[in-house]
Amino acid sequence: MKRLHFLVFGTIFSVIFTLCLSTNLAFATSNDENATLRNNDSLTQSKTAPTIPPTIQDPKNTEDPAGYWTKEKMKNAIPADKIKNDEKKETNPEQFESSLIGEPTNISDPVLPETNNNINEANVVVPSTAGKVFFSYGGKDYVCSASSINNNYKNLVITAGHCVHGGKGKGWHSNIAFAPAYRNGSTPYGIWNWKDARTFNAWINDSNFSYDQAFFTVFQRNGKDLVNTIGGNGLSTGYGTKQPDVRIFGWPAEKPYDGQIAYYCDGPTTSRGWFSSDAAMSCGMNGGASGGPWLRERINQDLGYVFAVTSRRSTSGTPTLYATPNSKDVKTMFDQMK
Label the pairing between strands 214-218 and 156-159: antiparallel
User: CB-based contacts of 230: which residues, under 8 Å, 6+ apart?
Assistant: 113, 117, 128, 129, 148, 180, 181, 189
Burial of 332 (0-12, 13-18, 19+ CB in 10 A): middle
Q: Give 81-90 pLDDT, tens digit per residue.
A: 653 433 344 4
**pTM given for the model:** 0.83
| Residue 298: per-residue pLDDT | 94
Could you write out the DSSP letters of every residue in 39-70?
Answer: S--SSEEEEEPPPPPTTT--TT-SS-TTS---
pLDDT, tens only, 183-228: 999 999 999 999 999 999 999 999 999 999 999 999 999 999 999 9
pLDDT of residue 80: 78
In this prediction, residue 7 carries a pLDDT of: 55
> What pLDDT does 183 receive?
94
User: Which pLDDT score is estimated for 338?
Assistant: 84
Between the CA of residue 127 and those of 61, 171, 188, 250, what are the distances in Å? 24, 31, 11, 10
Q: Are 81 and 209 in contact (CB under 8 A)?
A: no
Q: What is the CATH number of domain 4-336?
A: 2.40.10.120
Those residues of the chain that have pLDDT short of 70 are: 1-41, 52-65, 81-100, 116-125, 273-275
Report CA 205 to chain centroid distance, whole Å: 20
Q: What are phi and psi of 274, to 5 degrees?
A: -65, -30
Instruction: Report helix, strand or coil for 219.
Output: coil
Phi/psi of residue 269, each to 5°? -100, 155
